[in-house]
Amino acid sequence: MFKKSKFWAILSVVLVASMLLAACATPAPTAAPQPQPQPAPSDISCEGVTAGDQISMLYQWSGQEEERLNAILKPFVDACGVAIVPEASRDQALLDTKVQAGTPPDVVFWGSTQLKQYAEKLVAMDALGVDAANYADYWKAMGTIDGKLLGLPVKADIKSIVWYSPKAFTEAGYTVPTTWEELDALVEKMVADGKVPWSMGMESGDATGWTGTDFIEDIILVKQGPEYVDAVIAGTTPYNDPGVQEAYEIYGKWAKDEKYTIGGAAGTVSTNFNDAINKVFSTPPEAMMVKQSGFAAGQITTTYPTLVYGEDFDFFQVPGVKGLQGGADWGMAFSDKPAVKALFAYLASNKGGEEWAKVGFDLTPNKAGTTTYEDASLAKKAEMLAATTGFVADIGDAIPGFGVTEFRGVTDWVNGGDLAQILSTIAAAQAEGTK
Amino acid sequence: MAASFLIFKGGKMASPRVATVMKQGKWTPWFYVLPALIIMTVFIVYPMINTVGLSFLNKDSSASAATTCVEGEACWGALENYRYALTNEINTSTPLTAWNTFWTSSYGNTIKWMVFMVAGTVIIGLVFAVLADKVKYEPLAKSIIFMPMAISFVGAGVIWKFMYNYGTSQVQIGVINAVITALGGKAIPFLSQPILNTFMLIIVGVWMWTGFCMTILSSAIKSIPEEVIEASRIDGATEWQVFMQIMVPIIAPTIVVVITTMVINTLKLFDIVYVMTGGNFGTDVIATRMYREMYSSYNTGRGTAIAVILIILIIPFIYMNIKRFIQQEAIR
C-alpha cells in the first residue's frame, strides 16, 4: 500500500499548494495605512472612521479608467486615512460568486441590473445615512427597489447624441437641426445634394446590432417619450407594439438604403461601429453624421489626432428627444461599516460631485458637478444631462439577457428579414425577461 | 471508460501459470487507473451529470424548467429547455418556411459544416498526400499545407475576416473584394449574405484542417507495402486503378478515423463562427448558440440543454473512434 500513501501525500501537497496560491491571490492594499489621520477638511466627513480602515472594492474599470477613479477618491482617502483594496474585473461571474459565497466586497461599482439582482443583500442608502439631494428624481426612481434607494449612480454617459463636422456643415450651408422634422428635412436635403447623410455601421462581433437598437430607442424617445420606453422595459408595453414598429421602419428606411447610409444594408451590417465613426471625419468624409454615444470623441481623436473639438467635430442632441437615453454605473454597498458610510457620504457630497467632474470620468449624475467640468465636450453633455427631464436606460441592458435577442433582431431587419416576425421574436424574449 | 473496460478484458486472458509475485489481484488494475478515474470523475463525469441536471431547470437553476412554459403555447414540462433548443429556431408555419429556416438554423449549419468541411479536408488532404508522395520536394509541399494548423482558430478567423472584408468606400481593404472590384465587379458582402456566408466560413475551416488530414493519410500511404503497389502495376493497373483499388482500401481504416475525428471537430466548432460573424446572418452553429444562451442571455437551462444535445450528437462518433482504436490495438 506504499503507492496509496504516496498518492495521498502527493494529493495533500497539491491541495496545500493550491490553497497557498489562492491565498496569495488576495490583492494588497493600494494605499498603505497611515499612522495618524490628518485633520479632515471641513467638507469631507470621516465620522467614526479609524485610520487604516480598509474598504474592499470591485469594479469594471482598469487602466486609465481606474486611474481616474483613484484621482476622484484621493481627497477622501487622504482625509480619512482609509485604505482601498480594489479588484478590477469585467467578469460578472466573479461578483456573483463572491456574493453567493457570502464574501461580497464592501463596495461594488456595477450596472443598474445588479440593484435588482441583489436587492435583498445591499445596504440601502438611508441606512448609510446618505443625503441624495444632489441627484435628480429620475435617478432616485431608477435606483429605488421596493421603496429603498439601493445605490448611487456615479458615472453616466448619454447616448442620444449625433456627431458631425461643423466645418463640413458650414461648407455645405447646413444648420444643426433642433426638431425631428428639421432633421428629416436636413437628411433629405443632403440626399438631394448628393451627399450621404448617415454612417450607420453596426458590426460588433457577437453584439452586432447594438448601435441600431440605440438609434431605434432614440427614435422611440422622439416619437413616444420616456414613459413609453420605461413601459417597454417593465414589459407592460410589448416590443411588437406599433410605436416600436414605427421606429424600426424609420430606422430601416435609412439603414437599408445606400442613398441614406454608407453602403446600404450590406454596409450597415458589415461596417464596424468604430469605422462608422471614422467615416464621418475622413477626408473627404463618406457621410455627414453618425449617431453614437459619448465615447465617439475618444475614437475620433485617436484616429485623427489633429482634429479639434468644436471645429472639426462636435455633437448635437438627437433633435426632438423627450428625455435622454444613457447608462450609468452604480455604487452599491454590501457593508455598513463607518468607512463605507464615509465613502458614500463623500460621493454624494458637493465635493465628491465636483471632483468627479473635474477629473472628467464621463459624467457625474451628482448635480454639484454640473459646472466644474474641465473638458469642453463633457461640459456640453453635462448641460444636456442637467436640462433633461427624463432619462431612460438602454432597453437591451435593462432587461436581463434580452439585449442579445434585440441586437440580432435589428441586424436581421436591416439584412432583409420580415419585421413582424422579428418583433414578435424580440417580444417573446422581452416577456421572458420581464416575467 | 469503455476503452479501459475492454482493455482489462484483454488483460485477464494472461496465462494462468505465472509466479505468485507476478499475479495480480482482481482489484489491482483498478489502483493503476485510480488517479485517472478520480481526475475523470472530477473534471468530466461530475460536470456532465451536473450539466444534464441543470438542463431540466430554469435560467438561474432555481426551479424546474416546467415553470418557464408560456400559457397557450407548446410545453414539454421539465423538458421545456429541450423544446426550446430543438424547435425555437424553426418557423413551422408552413413546410416551406420550416425547410428554409432549418437550413439557416444552428442544426442546419452544423450539418453543412459536417458534410462540406469533412469532405473538403479529407478529399483535398488525400489528394495532396498522394501527389506529394511522388515528388522530390515533398517535405516542403507538406509543410506549406500543414502550416495553417499552427495558427490558432481565432487568429485564422481574424485573418480571413480581413480577407473577406466588405468595404463601403472606393477602397476595399479586403483582398478578395479588392480583386473583384479591380476586375470591374461589384463587391460582395461575403459574411453577411445568408447561405453564402456559411460556405465562406467553411472554406476557412478547410484551409486550417486539410494539413492535419494530409499528414495522417500520408503516413498511412507510406506504410502501404511497396510490393503490393508494384505487383498491381506489373499486372497492368493504371495509376487511377492503383489509387482507387489498392491504396484506398488499404488505408480505409485510417480514412475512417480521420473522418470521425473531423466530424467531432466540426460538431464542436465554435471559434471561426464566433470570431468572424458572431453567429449573425444565419451562420450560427450549435456551439455558438450554446455560448450565446449561456453567457449572453444568462440562461443556464437552455445553454446546458443545447450542450446535452451536442454531447448526444457527438457520442456515436466518439464510440466509433474508440472502437477503431481498440481494433487497431488488438492487431498490434
Give the pLDDT of chain A (435 residues) as one tens digit per residue: 444 556 566 666 565 555 555 555 444 444 444 444 444 444 788 888 888 899 999 999 988 889 999 999 999 999 999 999 999 988 887 888 898 888 999 999 998 888 888 888 999 999 998 988 899 888 998 889 889 999 999 999 999 999 999 999 999 999 999 999 999 999 999 999 999 999 999 998 888 999 999 999 999 999 999 999 999 998 999 999 999 999 999 999 999 999 999 989 999 998 999 999 999 999 889 999 999 998 898 899 999 999 999 999 999 999 999 999 998 899 999 999 999 999 999 999 999 999 999 998 989 999 888 888 988 888 999 999 988 888 998 898 888 778 889 999 999 999 988 999 999 999 988 988 887
Domain A54-155+326-383 matches domain A161-322+399-433 at the CATH topology level:
yes
> Are residues B166 and A209, on separate chains, in Cβ contact within 8 Å?
no
With contacts defined as CB-CB under 8 Å, which chain A residues touch B59? 401
- Comparing alpha-carbon positions, the chain B residue that sits nearest to A204 is B278
Of A206, A279, A428, the CB nearest to B279: A206
Q: Which residues of A touch B (CB under 8 A)?
A: 3-4, 7, 201, 204-209, 262-263, 266-267, 269-271, 279, 286, 400-405, 408, 411, 415, 421, 428, 431-432
Q: Which residues of chain A does B297 touch, with a Cβ-Cβ cutoff of 8 Å?
A: 401-402, 404-405
As a whole number of angstroms, the distance between CA A142 and CA A144 comes to: 6
Say whether pLDDT at B312 is over 80: yes
- Domain span(s) for CATH 1.10.3720.10 in chain B: 108-154+189-283
Q: How many helices, marked H, and strands, marked E, lie in chain B? A: 17, 0
CB contact under 8 A, A267 and B166: yes
Task: Report H helices in A305-402.
Answer: 338-348, 350-359, 376-387, 395-398
For residue A37, what pLDDT is reported? Answer: 43
User: Would you say A304 and A281 are in contact if contact means Cβ atoms under 8 Å apart?
Assistant: yes
- In whole angstroms, give the CA distance from residue B224 to residue A116: 68
Collapsing DSSP to helix, strand or coil, A132 comes out as coil
| pLDDT score for B53 | 93
Mean pLDDT (chain B, rounded):
87
pLDDT at residue A268, rounded to an integer: 93
Max distance between CA atoms of chain B, in angstroms, equals: 84
pLDDT tens figures, B48-62: 999 999 999 988 788
Distance from CA of B15 to the nearest CA of A (A): 26
pLDDT in the model for residue B64: 85
Residues of A within 8 A of B194 (CB-CB) are: 415
Residues 6+ apart with CB under 8 A from B205: B113, B117, B120, B121, B266, B269, B272
Residues of chain B in contact with residue A266, where contact means CB-CB under 8 angstroms, are 166, 189, 192-193
Please name the member of A7, A206, A263 whose beta carbon is closest to the beta carbon of B296.
Answer: A206
SS3 of residue A328 by DSSP: strand
In angstroms, the Cα distances linking B275 to B25, B59, B211, B308 are 53, 26, 22, 24
Say whether the ipTM exceeds 0.85: no
Q: Supply the DSSP symbol for A399.
A: S
- What are the structural domain ranges in chain A? 54-155+326-383, 161-322+399-433
> What is the count of residue pairs from A and B with beta carbons less than 8 Å apart?
68
B144, HSE (Cβ side, Cα atoms, 13 Å): 6
Residue A11: predicted pLDDT: 60
pTM of the model: 0.82
How many angstroms separate the CA atoms of B106 and B84, rounded? Answer: 13
- pLDDT at residue B3 tops 80: no
Q: Which CATH number fits domain A54-155+326-383: 3.30.450.40, 3.40.190.10, 3.40.50.620, 2.60.40.1180?
A: 3.40.190.10
Superfamily of domain A161-322+399-433: Periplasmic binding protein-like II (3.40.190.10)
Domain range B108-154+189-283, CATH class? mainly alpha
Q: Which of A6, A404, A406, A422 to mutate to test binding with chain B, by most B CBs within 10 Å of its CB?
A: A404
Task: Report how far apart, in Å, the C-alpha atoms of B29 and of each of A58, A112, B43 are.
Answer: 50, 57, 22
Contacts of B228 (CB under 8 A, 6+ apart): B246, B250
| Nearest beta carbon to residue B192 from set A204, A269, A428 | A269
Cβ contact B298–A267 (<8 Å): no
